[in-house]
Structure 1
């Protein structure tokens, strides 16, 4: 991603960027003065909001101005506070009991990094072309910032930030850097956006809505790429092209034509530093010993080079002219003529850039359809940011004439894609075009953020409905309950043990169910495979051998399933390819051709021997084709077990279900939605579990230690308190990246050497390669691996006899000596030296079969196989697991999978960012290991279905918590207008000062509550308070302090009501919106009460037991309506506590309403039980209970 985002704290400000820049001694953007300076250029001010702090575009950022704005939140020139003064850093106690130091957010560092080929072009260019490349980068960056200002940068207001309000642009400081920490060319700019902006509605300084900014970052990154290549094409005549990866594990890239991949790799990573140091050590060896070192010695020298390049880099900036000379020398040393590279890259394009007017509606709609389809394949739901990002990817090769043309084009495509999608939430409020900016944002109500609109696809909804519908269809094949119960009592596992009670219950529910689709969900280690073994045995006992079929998302996992259950298996993609996909289509075409020829031959008058033989051959061909097709079809009464079902997409599941239903077969989904999810649109298995439609296994059996069984379940649900348990049992280590790599490797290696099975899991492919290389070097040193005769692998490393290698691509033509094909994920031990043709022989570690791999397959699809990634570890069970963890690399699901592979122990090694290795990054923003783990556990990567998303959106949009927050925002505006009018009549000279006060909002809120209850008394307090406070520094704060006691007194004397009172206003746009919100609140209050009574919600039982009321009592009906409204208002979902847990003392409204309801319940309870004990007629509860609850 070429644009990344990070928070900036007020503690650090931008000092981490200022310390390596020139200061206010150079006032131009011309780079000439920096070619010889040992510093980066000074920062430049950017953004449409600069007028608010008296700055102009591209003014130089001085230390004093930057510190005033980013550290103290002050105007750089006047020192005036820009809104609320940032809170001082504080130490808070987290939910895991640990203390964390937190500072206020000063801004957001958006780092714009050019693609690597652009950095290489810039690095090798002379001064003129350096300036032009830099100018193109700046132009694209500023255009992207302007686009963010128009679409994403705004503020939020109201309770919970319910309203999205526009601002007068961003205020940003941009700092150019041009090298990575390892000294490679990496042209990038830190654009630090201040967390301060002026609302367009009233000019008040406020903070930004960071959530929207973060969500827009991927789209901004793709947008910047397109703008940059446009600008380079216009200014330098460059062209760009798609680069196809040489390895299956890497994604395609888009780079400048003329800049070779080998040259990009030379300047791309720390591995190049290792190469340089290794070359030096090898040269020294040659000089010392007078001969070329052996391959074994070379591996040792490379390990030495790896260790020696770990030291923190010197961050003193080397002058650009010196760096340029060094970069050119490196390129030339690799055989590249720098002038030839420049000539091949610049002034080569003859493409006419596209104007927005060059396209028509048909092209826009067609392209939008492609964009929507591509997004729909990967996601169950999406928003406008997803569509814009995908539109940029689809239009990657299209060059536009101007930035405005590109923006218009992408917006038009995204809008058309939205229109071709199915909306999951609505724009709830219609507003006229004349609506004031405090009620409107980007053409919509402030309550309806356009980019938060969610979409899905018709086919996605249909597929989800089909799957859920099959779960309620009860006409499928099944066994009789009595048969199942008897057979399960006799069943023994492979270990000769009976099933556990939970496993029996689950197997029985599946076998005796007539549903067309069932699901079994179980955390890691709960015995899903054991349970399925019983299911398979009993099903085939009833319906015959071969009536259970196994499918899995990958060929390797299908193979494991087949071996564990003893049945025929395949991967899902292969089955669909052959049953209804291209494989079936090819056979159908061949069959149709043969059938046509057969019919023609039958009708031919020629009936000699040759004609009869031709008919026979055609019949044989048709028979073979139909037989092959039959192999890929389900049959009546079959049970189709789909293992690791969470990794199967919704489209695939629906297609398989359709086939099974048509054949009279049954589908059984097995897996864990808390583990890896589908790479395409999915979420169905999780939906079935959350809907109570799946059988659940919950008892963990895998782990040796009892504590780890329960702890693993907490990991699964993201309970961060579990960190303490793993720490107490010494399962977590933390430190620098290099230290953790050492620690994880050494402990894994020690386990392997003592005969344990162990897995070493790394967070990324680069670390996997480094660990693989280290493991190989150690084994070469011990004589276990031969490094003298080797073959080339796809990861750039080599393998010899004794090495463990990993296949990364299915190839059904590569067969072992048992006739089984090679699968992605198969581990192989190299058993011999390379053959003359470059092939090698090996022994598969999964089945012990022998296999020969050709040179082409080795070079394209094989890596060393000592370490692995979390994705490839699912389904593996070993004695111990060792997992390396880095910030931002893992989701909860990946971490849970990684930490549940080992039976006897699972260890995590948390790599904490080293400030010395993060040049240009706010050190205080770097997390410690606890924060890294807490973030991982809080990130749920598993997708929810479109149906769930639609229901969630509807509930959120119509909940009382949201509607009352919206009403509160509108009422606050009306009250602000109201008190302003009154102040203008009483003390007009004080109005502007009071409105600028940070206490203005609190004062208005107090006024609204007091004036709404007793306006004469509120006016008296206000007028009396204004006189003596005229000389106060903050009159609004003083007035607020006078109104607050009255507010509390009036509230205590009034009855509580959920339905807000009518708010008077003379603004038509405000009145219309208030009326609309109030109508929605009334409907919602009625709806939650009806739902509570209709569903007899669990909390009602607890409330009835407490009060002793009968369902027919009017007091009961009234109380349930009030409590249901209260629960909806405060998002309470605790089924056991009618009023939920007590809120914090600072949540005054919540505490007050809860106290009143408690008092009412207590009064009802007292009167009810007193009436039962008293003689005579039953007491009238209504007449004796004080009315202190909501009147709904």
Structure 2
């Protein structure tokens, strides 16, 4: 991704960016645009964005230290020093527990625009004039993307819970150009720091921007930047991009400039060059100290030392671009590339006319939109417009456009068509009145319905999900009689351990064996004995239906091999099965069979040969078919995509076989669109394994279950038992490695889990170096691996690709994830002999496989560790790198010990924007527990979106926003009636929003007294510093008690002259009234468990009308305050700060107590109405 995004805090702000700029002034006027070439450092920052008028700056004005401090650190106007909204660092209330905490404010967001590597290489080798053309193209693309973001993503939110999206007057941003990476490779990039302050277009008030939308838009912005940049480079230099396939397993396919060789890209993209330079320096120093050249073993140790030392931050002394460019050109020449020749073969290549809007046709747009939608649907169960925009840009990556406007028009056309082809999961609820003001309408819709938040799916995804659910509900499948299943599970084969099944395992096995459903699911947390349960099910099924009646499938070849070995059955990976049954394998066999069937052999022996081939093909076809009454176990089912599951279900159901899904949706998810197992689980359609048996320590099972659901109580449990260690990145990497190595040395099976591939590589290199030092690994004769490291005899490597051509001495093929110990020195052809660590079988790895698909196998990532059980696990945790699911996997691999090493500082980045730790170890773990990464089924998302959109919780917030607008209009009119022009002054007060809310309540309760109070306060202000604060305090005294109920805000009167506002209030009231009727019907149905609990507390003589009225009020309360599925009628007690909810609860509790009296229960009336409107009129919104 060529644009990354990171928060900048008020503590660190842009200090680093200012520190690296040139110390003397370098004007960025066109005539002096290359004057930075001979200066040390980078050019001064420049102001950009369309919101600069708010801070009295113009585009391209230099960013001074004082200006940056005022805007980013203090949130002040740089000239007047008036606050831009709230100052940073203000003490706030943590709504989780009401505790006052000092929060580090978010000062802004750093969007780093990095050109693709081939462009950096061209820029490094080009002349000064050509460099300037490339830099200008980059600047053009950056400016155009920021403009696009301002129109589509940079806005603000207001109202209760940010319910309304409101337009802003543009971004206030500072741009800083940088030339190099930490390794001092060419890396042209620009930091665009967007201030976390924008002005609302509605009233000019300063507020924070909507960062959630900005984050969602970043990937689309990145793809858009690529397209715009390549457009500008073709226009300025005639350079064209071309598709580059992945150069290794960990690198994605991408587009790079035609003419820039991959060898140059590699040279300037890898830390290898800097490591080699440092290693050579260390070798020379060692030689001088010892008087001889170091041995290969010592060289390995010196290279490891160089690897660690070059991970530190780049040099503090910036170099002039001229010096940097001279070094880059020298490196290219050493590699055999003449800089001028590279430039000549890269520029002036384009001979095609760029595309304009006039070239677009409806047919092309429809086809491109279809390709876009299909590509997104393959990877996601649900998506939004940002996902479609990003994919549309990828689809159009090789199309060059004449202008930014042409490109945007093309993308909008394709994306809008893809939206139309998709199935919307959340419908628009409001019809925006014509000529509606910008405080009601935004981006063509109501402010409550931002188009970028709309979610979509695909008709095919919905159909596949429904097929799986329908199959789960179909009880016409094969089964074992319940009494026979019970007999088997209680008196079965002792050697199989069935008598040792725990109650939950026995119950799960019994349910699967006897349910008669075509599909069942078993869900269990890590360590709950899923394999043991599957073994019991397999034995029971085969006892009833015979040997071979159970087959196994798994998402990966390695996990399929493990499943087959543990359960003693034939197992295959899902992709291979589908390839051979409905994919190209089946198609190829069918074509061969048809060719043979239509052939006309001339001789008898040819006819015999044809018959034999046809018989063999038919048998191959039969081998890849399910059988009637067969049980198909799909292990790790959460990692199987919806499309794959639907295909398996279709095959099984057609033939009369049963599917059993086994897994844990709280662990790793499918790479492609998934979420089925989690949906079945949350719908109560899965059998549960509840007891955790893996861990040696009794406390760890319950603690792991807390971790699984993201309960922060898990932190205390693990911390109490010393399972968390924390410190800076380097220290934690050292500690994790040392503890892991100690366990391995002691003969304990252990796993070392790193958060990213770079850390995995560093840990693997360290392990290799230490084994060389101990003499257990040969460092003289080695082979190069795909991770750019080397392995020798004694090293452990991991296979990263299935290859059915490479087989061990038992005939079994090599699988992705197989660990192999190299047992001999390399042969002349570069191949090596190794021993599989899982089976002990010998295998020869070819030189090609080693260099393309093999890595050192000491450390791993959490993604690769699922399914592994060892004695101890050691998991490195860095901020932002793991989801809850990945962390849970890492912390449940070990039976005896699972330890997390929390890095409170990140690895040194290319630009150290954060000079102090941003978060404590507790905060980092808390963020991980909150980062749920598993996908949800489209049906589930649709139901949730529709429920949330029509809930009283949502509608109350929307009504409050509109009512506040009406009350504000009324207050302005009243104030200006007393003293014309005063209202515009009072609106600038921080108390304006709360004052409007107080005015609204006071005029409803005592309108004449409210007007009198207003007049008196304005005419006799005294020495008040903030007249609005005084007015607010006095009006609050007139507001009276809480609202009498929902009816109050359904019929509240407003003195508004705005027809658009009146119409919107009417619409939200209609939606609320409809929701109330829906809740009443649900109460009458009596299906919710909480209604039964209420009935259990009421006397049997309770009047039915009274009872129903009470239940209706409780249902309104639950919907208003998002009680959810809590079986307690009133849910959990409100927190201290939730005083409105607490007031509602007290009224309902009083009514419940009253009705529990037999006399009151016979009374035909209720004494309470839930004050759903109380929260709406006590606190105003203004941020």
TM-score range, shorter chain: over 0.9
Which range moved further: 1140-1149 or 795-804? 1140-1149
Relative to structure 1, the CA distance from residue 407 to residue 1071 in structure 2 (aligned partners, 3 Å threshold; closer, same or farther) is same
Give how far 1:1031 is off: 6.3
Relative to structure 1, the CA distance from residue 245 to residue 1111 in structure 2 (aligned partners, 3 Å threshold; closer, same or farther) is farther
Separation of aligned partners in 2, 1:24 and 1:289: 47
Match of 2:1179 in 1: none
Separation of aligned partners in 2, 1:22 and 1:212: 34
**Contact 1:493 1:530 (C-alpha < 8 Å) held by counterparts:** no
Match of 1:1124 in 2: 1115
Give how far 1:916 is off: 7.0
* Partner SS state of residue 884, structure 1: strand
**Contact 1:89 1:103 (C-alpha < 8 Å) held by counterparts:** no
Matched, 1:1097 2:1052: no
Relative to structure 1, the CA distance from residue 294 to residue 339 in structure 2 (aligned partners, 3 Å threshold; closer, same or farther) is farther
Match of 2:828 in 1: 836
Which range moved further: 713-722 or 6-15? 6-15
Separation of aligned partners in 1, 2:26 and 2:855: 51
Relative to structure 1, the CA distance from residue 374 to residue 914 in structure 2 (aligned partners, 3 Å threshold; closer, same or farther) is closer
Relative to structure 1, the CA distance from residue 433 to residue 124 in structure 2 (aligned partners, 3 Å threshold; closer, same or farther) is farther
Matched, 1:214 2:212: no
* Partner SS state of residue 996, structure 1: coil
Match of 2:1181 in 1: none
Separation of aligned partners in 2, 1:69 and 1:663: 68
Relative to structure 1, the CA distance from residue 792 to residue 395 in structure 2 (aligned partners, 3 Å threshold; closer, same or farther) is same
Matched, 1:8 2:34: no
Separation of aligned partners in 2, 1:233 and 1:293: 51
Match of 2:25 in 1: 25
Matched, 1:1082 2:1073: yes
Relative to structure 1, the CA distance from residue 924 to residue 855 in structure 2 (aligned partners, 3 Å threshold; closer, same or farther) is closer
Match of 1:1135 in 2: 1126
Relative to structure 1, the CA distance from residue 887 to residue 1179 in structure 2 (aligned partners, 3 Å threshold; closer, same or farther) is closer
1:179-190 mapped onto 2 (5 Å cutoff): 179-190=180-191
* Partner SS state of residue 102, structure 1: coil
Separation of aligned partners in 2, 1:1055 and 1:121: 67
Relative to structure 1, the CA distance from residue 1016 to residue 696 in structure 2 (aligned partners, 3 Å threshold; closer, same or farther) is same
Separation of aligned partners in 2, 1:547 and 1:40: 70
Which range moved further: 884-893 or 336-345? 336-345
Relative to structure 1, the CA distance from residue 827 to residue 1179 in structure 2 (aligned partners, 3 Å threshold; closer, same or farther) is closer
Deviations 1:192-216 (A, max 9, x none): 2122222222222222111111111
Match of 2:1007 in 1: 1015
Match of 2:76 in 1: 74
* Partner SS state of residue 256, structure 2: strand
Give how far 1:772 is off: 1.8
**Contact 1:915 1:926 (C-alpha < 8 Å) held by counterparts:** no
1:603-642 mapped onto 2 (5 Å cutoff): 611-642=603-634
1:158-197 mapped onto 2 (5 Å cutoff): 158-197=159-198
Separation of aligned partners in 2, 1:379 and 1:1053: 46
Separation of aligned partners in 2, 1:241 and 1:51: 41
Deviations 1:19-66 (A, max 9, x none): 332468344254433233333222111111112222211111222222
1:782-1181 mapped onto 2 (5 Å cutoff): 782-913=774-905, 919-923=911-915, 926-1029=918-1021, 1032-1047=1024-1039, 1049-1051=1040-1042, 1057=1048, 1059=1050, 1061-1108=1052-1099, 1112-1133=1103-1124, 1135-1165=1126-1156, 1168-1169=1157-1158, 1180=1163
Match of 1:1175 in 2: none
Q: Taking structure 1 as the reference length, what is the TM-score of the superposition?
A: 0.94
Relative to structure 1, the CA distance from residue 1111 to residue 629 in structure 2 (aligned partners, 3 Å threshold; closer, same or farther) is farther
Match of 1:281 in 2: 282
Give how far 1:117 is off: 2.1
Separation of aligned partners in 2, 1:723 and 1:270: 37
Separation of aligned partners in 2, 1:99 and 1:1030: 33
**Contact 2:1113 2:1169 (C-alpha < 8 Å) held by counterparts:** no
Give how far 1:320 is off: 2.3
Matched, 1:36 2:38: yes
* Partner SS state of residue 981, structure 2: helix
1:314-329 mapped onto 2 (5 Å cutoff): 314-329=315-330
Separation of aligned partners in 1, 2:945 and 2:992: 33
1:538-937 mapped onto 2 (5 Å cutoff): 538-597=540-599, 611-913=603-905, 919-923=911-915, 926-937=918-929
Deviations 1:688-726 (A, max 9, x none): 110110011111111111111111111111122312222
Relative to structure 1, the CA distance from residue 339 to residue 820 in structure 2 (aligned partners, 3 Å threshold; closer, same or farther) is same
**Contact 1:353 1:399 (C-alpha < 8 Å) held by counterparts:** yes
Match of 1:1174 in 2: none
Match of 1:128 in 2: 129
Separation of aligned partners in 2, 1:919 and 1:98: 35
**Contact 2:496 2:536 (C-alpha < 8 Å) held by counterparts:** no
Separation of aligned partners in 2, 1:1055 and 1:453: 29
Aligned Cα RMSD in Å? 2.5
Which range moved further: 550-559 or 1055-1064? 1055-1064
* Partner SS state of residue 216, structure 1: helix
Deviations 1:744-776 (A, max 9, x none): 112111111111111111222222222222222
Give how far 1:358 is off: 1.4
**Contact 2:1144 2:1170 (C-alpha < 8 Å) held by counterparts:** no
**Contact 2:545 2:629 (C-alpha < 8 Å) held by counterparts:** yes
Give how far 1:236 is off: 1.8
Relative to structure 1, the CA distance from residue 1055 to residue 675 in structure 2 (aligned partners, 3 Å threshold; closer, same or farther) is closer
Give how far 1:1188 is off: 7.7
**Contact 2:385 2:452 (C-alpha < 8 Å) held by counterparts:** yes
Give how far 1:853 is off: 1.7
Q: Taking structure 2 as the reference length, what is the TM-score of the superposition?
A: 0.95
Match of 1:605 in 2: none
Match of 1:253 in 2: 254
* Partner SS state of residue 1046, structure 1: coil
Deviations 1:281-333 (A, max 9, x none): 34556678888755333312212322443554432322222222233333333
Deviations 1:1140-1179 (A, max 9, x none): 33334443432333333333333333xx2456xxxxxx85
Separation of aligned partners in 2, 1:1055 and 1:117: 63
2:528 to 518, 526, 535: 526
* Partner SS state of residue 706, structure 1: coil
Separation of aligned partners in 2, 1:116 and 1:36: 23
Relative to structure 1, the CA distance from residue 613 to residue 12 in structure 2 (aligned partners, 3 Å threshold; closer, same or farther) is closer
1:511 to 507, 513, 518: 513
Relative to structure 1, the CA distance from residue 1060 to residue 116 in structure 2 (aligned partners, 3 Å threshold; closer, same or farther) is farther
**Contact 1:976 1:1004 (C-alpha < 8 Å) held by counterparts:** yes
* Runs of 5+ unmatched residues, structure 1: 602-609, 1172-1177
Separation of aligned partners in 2, 1:286 and 1:360: 70
Separation of aligned partners in 2, 1:1190 and 1:892: 35
2:58 to 46, 56, 59: 56
**Contact 1:1056 1:1188 (C-alpha < 8 Å) held by counterparts:** no
Deviations 1:196-255 (A, max 9, x none): 222222222222111111111111111111111111121122122222223233312322
Relative to structure 1, the CA distance from residue 293 to residue 105 in structure 2 (aligned partners, 3 Å threshold; closer, same or farther) is closer
* Runs of 5+ unmatched residues, structure 2: 1175-1183
Separation of aligned partners in 2, 1:1116 and 1:205: 50
Give the aligned length: 1171
Separation of aligned partners in 2, 1:1071 and 1:792: 73
Separation of aligned partners in 2, 1:992 and 1:856: 75
**Contact 1:489 1:498 (C-alpha < 8 Å) held by counterparts:** no
Separation of aligned partners in 1, 2:817 and 2:138: 41
Relative to structure 1, the CA distance from residue 594 to residue 915 in structure 2 (aligned partners, 3 Å threshold; closer, same or farther) is closer
Separation of aligned partners in 2, 1:106 and 1:855: 52
